[in-house]
Amino acid sequence: MKLSLIAALVCAVVSLPAVAADVTYRNEVAPMLKKYCAECHSAKAGAPSMAEFNLDQEKFKKEKVGPLSDTYEHLLQLVNGKSTGAFMRRLDDGTSPYAGGKPGNMYKYLCEQDNKDNNAECAANLLVLKAWVGEGGWNLNRMSARGDVPALTKEQMDKVKVKY
Ligand code: HEC
């Protein structure tokens, strides 16, 4: 019992720098998305490109597939490309400005669905994604203002790291 507690603590301490250090698409993000998102967001799942998705979102919602995000290039559309901030809006845990205190509707997929303890895993995975996007780069704003949400600023945009 004691030993496993020590092991858990050692693991926690050892894995912390991994988040703080450079998180890359290759090493952390791609495997995570493959595990939790590919089921509905990959070519294999019949997911549409971003352009196709935007033509008929209702159709794809019914088919339960979201835009392709199984390559770095596709994913970046949702992070700092044409659909800037979509990644952050959908995956936020509800604590970021403009989240309105509500987690994005894809946040729950960031962990095992049948694991009772999944909140902790979702939270840990979100931290990894936030570290990948970069300090100050996780913003829910769009390219243009919408409602009370101002447009993304150049300063915010410049903070986005998303290392391959
Ligand atoms: C069970 C299927 C399913 C899983 C698993 C899933 N998604 Fe989705 N996702 C969808 C569907 C369907 C949509 C489109 C409907 C909507 O907008 O909610 C969507 C939409 C999105 C969008 C918004 C795209 C846009 O342009 O507005 C993002 C970002 C996203 N998902 C990211 C993810 C990530 C990251 C994961 C993994 C952690 C994930 N999704 C897991 C089905 C899924």
Instruction: Compute the distance between CA of residue 21 and CA of residue 132 in angstroms, rounded to an integer.
Output: 9
**107-157 pLDDT, tens digit each:** 999 999 888 788 899 999 999 999 999 999 999 999 999 999 999 999 999
Q: How far is the CA of 109 from the centre of ligand 1 (A)?
A: 9
Give the pLDDT score at 117. Answer: 81
Query: Taking a C-beta distance cutoff of 8 angstroms, is the pair 129, 139 a contact?
Result: no
**61-118 pLDDT, tens digit each:** 999 999 999 999 999 999 999 899 999 999 999 999 999 999 999 999 999 988 878 8
* Residue carrying structure tokens 């493959």: 34
* Residue carrying structure tokens 């049948």: 114
Give the pLDDT score at 114. Answer: 83
For residue 103, count CB atoms less than 10 angstroms from its CB and return exposed for 0-12, middle for 13-18, buried for 19 or more: middle
For residue 92, count CB atoms less than 10 angstroms from its CB and return exposed for 0-12, middle for 13-18, buried for 19 or more: buried
Pocket test for ligand 1, best of 34, 83, 109, 127 (most atoms within 8 A of CB): 109
